[in-house]
Amino acid sequence: MKAVAKLQRGPGAELIDAPEPAVGPRDVLIRVKATSICGTDVHIYEWDPWSAGRIKPPIIFGHELGGVVEDVGPEVTCVRRGDLVSVETHIVCGTCYQCQMGEAHVCDRVSILGIDRDGAFAELVAVPEANVWVNPPSLSAEVAAIQEPLGNAVHSVLAGAVAGCRVAVLGCGPIGLWSVAVSRAAGATAIYAVEPSGYRRELAARMGATRVMDPRDTDVVSRIREFTQGVGADVVLEMSGNATAIGDGFRIARNGGRVSLLGLPPRPVELDLSNDIVLRGLTVQGIAGRQMYATWVQTSNLVNSGLVDPATAITHRFPLEDFREAFAVVKGGACGKVVLNP
Amino acid sequence: MKAVAKLQRGPGAELIDAPEPAVGPRDVLIRVKATSICGTDVHIYEWDPWSAGRIKPPIIFGHELGGVVEDVGPEVTCVRRGDLVSVETHIVCGTCYQCQMGEAHVCDRVSILGIDRDGAFAELVAVPEANVWVNPPSLSAEVAAIQEPLGNAVHSVLAGAVAGCRVAVLGCGPIGLWSVAVSRAAGATAIYAVEPSGYRRELAARMGATRVMDPRDTDVVSRIREFTQGVGADVVLEMSGNATAIGDGFRIARNGGRVSLLGLPPRPVELDLSNDIVLRGLTVQGIAGRQMYATWVQTSNLVNSGLVDPATAITHRFPLEDFREAFAVVKGGACGKVVLNP
Amino acid sequence: MKAVAKLQRGPGAELIDAPEPAVGPRDVLIRVKATSICGTDVHIYEWDPWSAGRIKPPIIFGHELGGVVEDVGPEVTCVRRGDLVSVETHIVCGTCYQCQMGEAHVCDRVSILGIDRDGAFAELVAVPEANVWVNPPSLSAEVAAIQEPLGNAVHSVLAGAVAGCRVAVLGCGPIGLWSVAVSRAAGATAIYAVEPSGYRRELAARMGATRVMDPRDTDVVSRIREFTQGVGADVVLEMSGNATAIGDGFRIARNGGRVSLLGLPPRPVELDLSNDIVLRGLTVQGIAGRQMYATWVQTSNLVNSGLVDPATAITHRFPLEDFREAFAVVKGGACGKVVLNP
Amino acid sequence: MKAVAKLQRGPGAELIDAPEPAVGPRDVLIRVKATSICGTDVHIYEWDPWSAGRIKPPIIFGHELGGVVEDVGPEVTCVRRGDLVSVETHIVCGTCYQCQMGEAHVCDRVSILGIDRDGAFAELVAVPEANVWVNPPSLSAEVAAIQEPLGNAVHSVLAGAVAGCRVAVLGCGPIGLWSVAVSRAAGATAIYAVEPSGYRRELAARMGATRVMDPRDTDVVSRIREFTQGVGADVVLEMSGNATAIGDGFRIARNGGRVSLLGLPPRPVELDLSNDIVLRGLTVQGIAGRQMYATWVQTSNLVNSGLVDPATAITHRFPLEDFREAFAVVKGGACGKVVLNP
C-alpha cells in the first residue's frame, strides 16, 4: 500500500510502497479516507530535537484520520466492517496508576500512533478496537479525521467553567481556531483571539471570535483588560507555545482565573510565579490529549448536533502523494487545517 | 405612592396609596419601571397554605423589578442616582454558617423582598445597597426586572456540566423557558422541553428547544430514551413542581446523570429512591435562588452579550393598576412572563 | 469443589459439590481464602421480591472475596499465580455511554458476580483480569475480601468535601461502620452515628464516631442540630435504607449540605422535596458501587497506610459449611461483618 | 500604646509609643494578646525590594494576632466586648468582580493589615467587624493568632483531593509544617516533607510527616518516585518559594497530579512547561490567602475538634519589646513559629 514514511534519521519523508499492516485479534483495520497534518507531524518531518529523541525510523507517521473499517480481528465485538471511524491516537496500558484513576490520557506507558508505531499517512492502518470511535455514516471522512485535534480544543475549553465567561485564545492554529468555536458553542460571552497571522485572524473571526488582535502591533494585555473593565479574562486558552504569549496569558487572566496550556514551548520559559500565579490565585492546567473517552462523547455531540462546525477550519486538501507541498503550506502558516487524501 | 398590597389574611389584593418607603443609611431607593409576576406572587395572591403560614399582612408584595435609582442613603458607596438597577431579592445575614461558607443563597436567616418585607409592586421600593445590581443604561427596564428569575434558570443550568450534553427541561413556565435558552447558549446539544400547554411549547421551540413534548399524550420517558439511543438525558432540569414530572425526571436521566430540582411540589412526593437514584448513581440538586453574586455575573454576561435574549419570554404587559387582569392571565397559563408597569 | 448455591427459586441455599469454574483466555482463577456476607446475599438467601426478579438458579452466590491466584488465562498480562487479590464485582461492558464517560460503576450492561454469574461462596472463582485487584502479600485474606464493601464506604465519604466537616452516618451495618472510620481518617471533625442496635453503636464508637445515638429514644434531628449550633451536618451518609432515617437525613443536613444515599429502601419513600431539598439547596447523591478504579486506589492507600483498619468491623468468622449459622447471625443484627472461610 | 513600627524607608523597626487606633462605626478594637511573625514581616523589617515598593512608613506592621475585644463601633452587630478573636488580614472591597464571584481572597482592591494600614505589633488594633473571627473562649490567644497562617495551609491542602493521596510538602517553615499536619488530618496516606533545616525536619516528623528529606543530600525527585512505585506524588504543596524546589515539585508530581504553589519566589523561575506541566496534564494552583470565610470555618473546625494541634509549631515566644531578638531567631531558621506578646 501507499504510505508516507520517515525512513532514516533526518529531515524529510518518502512516499513508499509498504506492506499492509498486520491485524491482531483485537485490532481494527481501517482504510484511510482522510488524514490531516498535526504540528507534531511537522516536527517529525523536519526532524527537530524532540523527534530525534523519540522517533525510531523506519516509521509511517501521521495520526489524525477518518476512514472506513476494512476488516476486524476475531475478538473485536463492537466495530463492524463499513463503519466510518475516527481514532484516538493514545494507546494506553489500562493498568498504570493513571489508567486506574480514570486519567488514561496521561497514562504512564502510552504508545502513540504515528510516533511510537506506524500511523495514518497510508492507505490502511490497524489500531486496537478500544481506540476506534464509530461515527454516524453521514459524517464526512475529513471531519472524522479532525475530530482528534478538535478533541484537544474541547478538552481545553471544557476543563473548567466557560458559559457566561470571557475567554482569550492565544494562537489560532487549527486547535486555537476550534477553541474559539467550542468556546462560542459553550456560552463564552466574549472571545478575544490573539494571532499574528492575518489569514488565521480572519478565520478566527469567522469561527466566532468577538475580537481578533495581532500581538505584534497590539498590547494584548492592556487591550483585553480594557475590554473587560480592568478585570481580565476568566479563561485563557494558550494554544501557541510561544514564550511571550504564555507570559502575556498569565497577565491577561483575571485574579482567580483559569489558564489552560496546550501549546508546547520548545524551550523552558521564565515565569514570574509570585506576581502572575500565586498572589493572584490562578489555576493553571496542562492539557494533554483527550479524556478517554468523555472528550470524544462531548466532541461527537457538539459536531453531530451542528453546534460546532469544525470543517470551517479546513483550508487545504492534497492527495497523499503531494505531501511535500502540503507540509510547505503548513509551515507557511497561511492555512487552517491541511488534509491529505490517500 | 401607588402600590399593590395584601391587606388582610385571605385571597386577593388591593391597590393602595402607600407612604414612600424609608431609606436607611445603606439603602437604595428605586423608582420601579417594571415589575414582573412570579409564581410565588400568585400563591400570595390566592393565599395558599404556604402564604398563610409565612405572609404577615399588611404587605406590599412582588419582588422582581427593574428601576432607576431615585435616592441613596449616606453610607452607600457604589450605587448612584440614575443607575438602572435590578435587585437580588434575598436579603441575607452575612454571618451564619452558610454565609461564611460562600453559600449566602441558602442563608439561615434570609429575609425576602415582597414576602418578609415590602416589595416591588409599587412606584418605589427601598433595598440594601448590597442587593442592588447595576445594569448598563441601554438595558430595558423589563429585562432588568426579569434578570432575577432568569438567574434561577442560569443557576439551574450551570450547576453542572451542560456543554456537549443532552438536556431535558420539565415545565416551561418562564424559568423553564429561560432554562431552554440558557442551555442552548451554554452548549447543550439537544434540549427536550416537556410542557402540557401548547402556548408554552411553542415558546420553548422559539427559545431553542430541539424537541417539544406534551406529557399528556406522550410517554416522555420512552421518547427521550429513544432520542438518546436508550441512554437518557445527561441533565434534567425540573421546573414544574409536578409530582408526575418529578418521578419521570429521575427516569429520564441517564445513569450517573444530574437532576436539578427548582419546581416546588405543594405536597410530599413518593420516590423510588433505590431504583431511580441510588443504584443509578444520580446527582440531585436542590436549586434555591441565585448564587450571590456569581449567578448575577453570569446572567449579566449572557444577557449583555446577546447570547441569551430573555425578552422573548415576556408575553404580556399591564399597568400596575390592572394587576387583577394580569394575575388572571398568569393563572390561565397561556402566557410566558407577565410584566406590570407602575 | 465445595460451594454454597441457590438451587431453586425460594428461600434457603445448599452446600454443593460444584465443578471447578471454566477459565477464559482473559480470566483469572482464584482460590477463595475468605468471603464475606453482604446484605444482598441475605436478600438472595431469603428470596425477597428483588431476588425473585433478578436471580436465576442454579447459581453460586456471594461476591466479596479475598484469595490467591491459582491460574490465569493465556491473555492475562498483569496478574500472576500466587498474587493475593480482591475482586471488583461489577463486570462492565466498557462500551456503553457511561463506560465511555469514565462512569463504569453505573454501566448500562453490568453483570454482577454472585448475582448474574457464579460467585464467591466457593473454593474457586473465575473473574476477568480487569476485575482483579492485586494486594500486597502482607494483607490478610479477610481484609482483602472486605475491601469491596469498604470501597462503598470510601466512595460515599469521598464523594464530596469531608475534611473540616461534621458528618452524620445513618445506619451502622458494616458499610456504615466503615463510613465512620473513613470519615475519621479523612478529617471529619465530628461524626454522629445513628443506629438502633447497641452492639453496632458500640462498634461505631470504637471506629471513631464522636457521638452515637439510638434513633428509637432520641430525636436525632434535634440532637444533631444542637451539636452543630443549629446549623446541621455538612454531610449526611445514609447507610440504612430505612424510610424514617432517610427523611431525618434530609433534615439533619445543613442548608447547602450533602446527602449521600447508599442504603436501599425496599419501597418508595415519601419526601418533602420543597422544604427538605429544593429550598435548602441540598445536593443528594446516589452512591452505586465503587468508581472503577479510583475508589480502589483510595481504599487500598487508606488500608495499606494503616489510616483505616477495616478489620475492627469483622466480628464473626465461620467455615463455609456453617453458612446457615452465619446467615442467622447476620439477620440477628448483633454483629459487624461476618466472614466465611471455604 | 506600645507598638513596633517602621518609621522610615530602610531596614529595621522601632518600639514606639503610638496613639490608640481610631474605631470607626463598624470597627472592632482588639487588645492584642499574642501576635506572630510572618515571612512578610521579615521582608518589611529587612526592607527588601518588595517592601520598598509597597510599604509607606510610618506604619505599625504585623498582621497575625489573637486578642480580646476591647470596644466595638456603634454599628457592630455580632462581635461583643470580651470575645476572644482572630483576624482575617485581607480587608476586601466587596464589590469588585472577584468579590462578586465569591473569590474575595483575590479581591482587586484588597488592603492588608500591617502592610497597607496599621497592624498587629501593638497593644491595640482596630479592624472592620467583617474581618473578625470569634473563637471559643477556651482557645489560647497564641493559637488564635496563628489560625491566620494556619489557614493558608488549610487552603492549600484542601484545594483538591487529599484523602487517600500521597502528598509532598516542599519547605517546612510554619505553613509547611501545618500543611503536614493538615494533610495528615485530612487523610493523606503518605507525607513526604522536604526541608534543608534539621530543626524543621524534626518538627515535620513530629507533626505527621511519614518521610523527611534533606534536599541538599537527597535526590528528592528520585526518592519520592521510589516511595510511590515510580508514580509520583498525587499532591505537591510548594511552601518554600525556592526555585530548585519548585522545579523539583513539578517532577515529583504524578501525571495528572496537583501542584499547589504558596511559596513566593523572589525572582522569575524558569520552567519546562512542555515536559513538566502540559504533556503530563498537571493542575497548578496559586494559593493566595484564605477563602473568605470557608477556610476559616474549616480551620476552626479542625482546631477546635483537636484534629490539628497547630501549637506544636510554636517554638519561641518573646515580649513585644524583644522584637529584634525575635526577628533574629526567625532569620536564623532554627525555629517554627515565633510569637510576640505585647
Which chains have at least 3 CB atom pairs separated by less than 8 Å from chain A?
B, C, D
Q: How do residues C14-67 score in pLDDT, each as one tens digit?
A: 999 999 999 999 999 999 999 999 999 999 999 999 999 999 999 999 999 999
Q: Which residues of C are catalytic?
A: 40, 43
Q: How do residues C53-111 score in pLDDT, each as one tens digit?
A: 999 999 999 999 999 999 999 999 999 999 999 999 999 999 999 999 999 999 999 99
Burial class (CB in 10 A: 0-12, 13-18, 19+), D27: buried
Interchain contact, A186 vs B186, CB within 8 Å: yes
Q: Does the beta carbon of D266 lie under 8 angstroms from any beta carbon of chain A?
A: yes
Mean of pLDDT values over D167-193: 98
Q: Are residues D22 and D112 in the same domain?
A: yes
Spatial separation of the C-alpha atoms in residues D88 and D83, rounded to whole Å: 15
| CA distances, D191 to each of B11, C307, D213, D275 (Å) | 65, 12, 11, 25
Element (H, E) at A268: none
Between chain A and chain B, the number of residue pairs with CB atoms below 8 A apart is 65
DSSP structural state of residue D189: S
Mean of pLDDT values over D220-243: 98
Burial class (CB in 10 A: 0-12, 13-18, 19+), A77: exposed
Q: What is the pLDDT of residue A170?
A: 98
Short-list A211, A84, A216, A228, CA closest to A165: A228
Interchain contact, B294 vs D97, CB within 8 Å: no
Identify whether A315 is a catalytic site residue. Answer: no
Closest CB to B305 among A182, A190, A301:
A190
* C-alpha cell belonging to residue A179: 477553541
Q: Does the beta carbon of D74 lie under 8 angstroms from any beta carbon of chain B?
A: no
Q: Are residues A9 and A145 in the same domain?
A: yes
| Mean pLDDT value across chain C | 97
Domain ranges, residue B243: 160-286
Short-list A258, A252, A308, A311, CA closest to A281: A258
Closest CB to C307 among D157, D187, D297:
D187
- Final residue before a domain boundary, out of C256, C286, C316: C286
* pLDDT confidence tier of residue B125, bands split at 50, 70 and 90: very high
Share of chain C above pLDDT 70, in %: 100
Q: Does the beta carbon of C303 lie under 8 angstroms from any beta carbon of chain D?
A: no
End-to-end CA distance of chain C: 10
Residues of chain A with pLDDT under 50: none
Interchain contact, D307 vs C186, CB within 8 Å: no
* C-alpha cell belonging to residue B304: 449583555
Q: Are residues C249 and C316 in the same domain?
A: no
D78, D307, D308, best to mutate vs chain C, most C CBs in 10 Å: D307
Element (H, E) at D185: helix D174-185
Q: Does the beta carbon of B86 lie under 8 angstroms from any beta carbon of chain A?
A: no
In A173-220, the DSSP E strands lie at: 190-194, 211-213
Q: Are residues C208 and C104 in the same domain?
A: no
Closest CB to D189 among C162, C165, C307:
C307
SS3 A19: coil
Q: How do residues A244-287 score in pLDDT, each as one tens digit?
A: 999 999 999 999 999 999 999 999 999 999 999 999 999 999 99
Shortest distance, CA C66 to any CA of chain B (angstroms): 25
Cβ-contact A235, A165 below 8 angstroms? yes
Name the domain count of chain A.
2
SS3 A17: strand
Half-sphere exposure of B204 (CA within 13 A, CB side): 31
Q: Are residues A141 and A182 in the same domain?
A: no
In chain D, which residues have their Cβ closer than 8 Å to the Cβ of B296?
Answer: 100
Q: Does the beta carbon of A243 lie under 8 angstroms from any beta carbon of chain D?
A: no
CA dihedral B324, B329, B333, B338 (to 10 degrees): -100
Chain C residue with minimal CA distance to B282?
A: C286
CA-based Rg of chain D, rounded to a whole angstrom? 20
The number of angstroms, rounded, from the C-alpha of A341 to the middle of its chain's C-alpha atoms is 19
Q: Which residue has the cell 485535534?
A: A149
Asked if the bond preceding D58 is cis, omega within 30° of 0, the reply is: yes
Element (H, E) at D7: none
Q: Residue type at A273?
A: L
Q: Are residues C121 and C42 in the same domain?
A: yes
What length does chain B have? 342
Shortest distance, CA D113 to any CA of chain A (angstroms): 16
Q: Are residues A77 and A200 in the same domain?
A: no
Q: Residue type at A123?
A: E
Residue D71 sits in a domain of what CATH number?
A: 3.90.180.10
Q: Are residues A128 and A33 in the same domain?
A: yes
Q: Does the beta carbon of D207 lie under 8 angstroms from any beta carbon of chain C?
A: no
Identify whether A40 is a catalytic site residue. Answer: yes
Shortest distance, CA C140 to any CA of chain B (angstroms): 30
Of the residues A35, A43, A89, A295, only one is catalytic, namely A43
Chain A residue with minimal CA distance to B181?
A: A187
Closest CB to D186 among C187, C297, C298:
C187
Q: Does the beta carbon of B101 lie under 8 angstroms from any beta carbon of chain C?
A: yes
C157, C235, C296, C301, best to mutate vs chain D, most D CBs in 10 Å: C301
In chain B, which residues have their Cβ closer than 8 Å to the Cβ of D78?
Answer: 95
Q: How do residues C28-43 score in pLDDT, each as one tens digit?
A: 999 999 999 999 999 9
Spatial separation of the C-alpha atoms in residues C231 and A133, rounded to whole Å: 49
DSSP structural state of residue B304: H
- Final residue before a domain boundary, out of A286, A305, A331: A286
Closest CB to C262 among B101, B103, B278:
B278
Q: Are residues B15 and B141 in the same domain?
A: yes
Element (H, E) at C203: helix C198-206
Cβ-contact A269, D278 below 8 angstroms? no
Helix axes C220-227, C243-252, angle to 10 degrees: 30
Residue A282 region by backbone torsions, left for phi larger than 0, else alpha for psi between -120 and 50, else beta: beta
Short-list A230, B307, A223, B27, CA closest to D98: A230
Cβ-contact C180, C202 below 8 angstroms? no
Residue C265 sits in a domain of what CATH number?
A: 3.40.50.720
Interchain contact, D256 vs A287, CB within 8 Å: no
Helices (H), chain B: 39-46, 49-54, 97-100, 141-157, 174-185, 198-206, 220-227, 243-252, 273, 294-304, 323-332
DSSP codes joined into one string, B165-221: -EEEEE--SHHHHHHHHHHHHTT-SEEEEE-S-HHHHHHHHHTT-SEEE-TTTS-HH
Q: Residue type at D210?
A: T
Cβ-based neighbour number of residue D268 at 10 Å: 16
Q: Does the beta carbon of A97 lie under 8 angstroms from any beta carbon of chain C?
A: yes
C278, C282, C292, best to mutate vs chain B, most B CBs in 10 Å: C278
Cβ-contact D198, D223 below 8 angstroms? no
C293, C295, C300, best to mutate vs chain A, most A CBs in 10 Å: C293
* C-alpha cell belonging to residue C49: 421480591
Q: Does the beta carbon of D190 lie under 8 angstroms from any beta carbon of chain C?
A: yes
Closest CB to C286 among B246, B277, B288:
B277
* C-alpha cell belonging to residue D306: 483537636
Shortest distance, CA C74 to any CA of chain B (angstroms): 34
Interchain contact, D164 vs C190, CB within 8 Å: no
Q: Does the beta carbon of D78 lie under 8 angstroms from any beta carbon of chain B?
A: yes
| CA distances, D266 to each of A272, A278, C84, D48, D262 (Å) | 9, 12, 51, 10, 13
Interchain contact, B166 vs A301, CB within 8 Å: yes
Spatial separation of the C-alpha atoms in residues C108 and B230, rounded to whole Å: 10
Q: Does the beta carbon of A98 lie under 8 angstroms from any beta carbon of chain D?
A: yes
Q: Are residues B88 and B145 in the same domain?
A: yes
Cβ-contact C37, C119 below 8 angstroms? no
Q: Are residues D297 and D206 in the same domain?
A: no
Q: Are residues C131 and C173 in the same domain?
A: no
Q: What is the pLDDT of residue C107?
A: 98
Shortest distance, CA B67 to any CA of chain C (angstroms): 27
Interchain contact, D102 vs B294, CB within 8 Å: yes
Listed in sequence order, the residues at least 6 apart from D187 whose beta carbon sits closer than 8 Å to its beta carbon are C163, C185, C186, C187, C302, C307, D162, D163, D164, D165
Q: Does the beta carbon of B102 lie under 8 angstroms from any beta carbon of chain D?
A: yes
Q: How do residues D184-227 score in pLDDT, each as one tens digit?
A: 999 999 999 999 999 999 999 999 999 999 999 999 999 999 99
Mean of pLDDT values over D114-129: 98
Mean of pLDDT values over D9-15: 97
Residue C253 region by backbone torsions, left for phi larger than 0, else alpha for psi between -120 and 50, else beta: beta
Interchain contact, D101 vs B297, CB within 8 Å: yes
Listed in sequence order, the residues at least 6 apart from A60 whose beta carbon sits closer than 8 Å to its beta carbon are A3, A4, A5, A16, A18, A114, A118, A119, A120, A121, A122, A125
Q: Does the beta carbon of D108 lie under 8 angstroms from any beta carbon of chain A?
A: yes
Element (H, E) at B256: strand B253-261
Shortest distance, CA D150 to any CA of chain A (angstroms): 17
Burial class (CB in 10 A: 0-12, 13-18, 19+), A221: middle
Shortest distance, CA D208 to any CA of chain C (angstroms): 12
* C-alpha cell belonging to residue A87: 481514532
pTM of the predicted model over 0.80: yes
Short-list A80, A76, A82, A69, CA closest to A29: A69
Spatial separation of the C-alpha atoms in residues D6 and D4, rounded to whole Å: 7
- Final residue before a domain boundary, out of C246, C268, C286: C286
- CA angle at D68 for the pair D203 and D152, rounded to the nearest 5°: 40
Interchain contact, A187 vs B161, CB within 8 Å: no
Shortest distance, CA A75 to any CA of chain B (angstroms): 25
Q: How do residues C251-271 score in pLDDT, each as one tens digit?
A: 999 999 999 999 999 999 999
What are residue A40's phi and psi, to 5 degrees?
-60, -40
Q: Does the beta carbon of A301 lie under 8 angstroms from any beta carbon of chain B?
A: yes
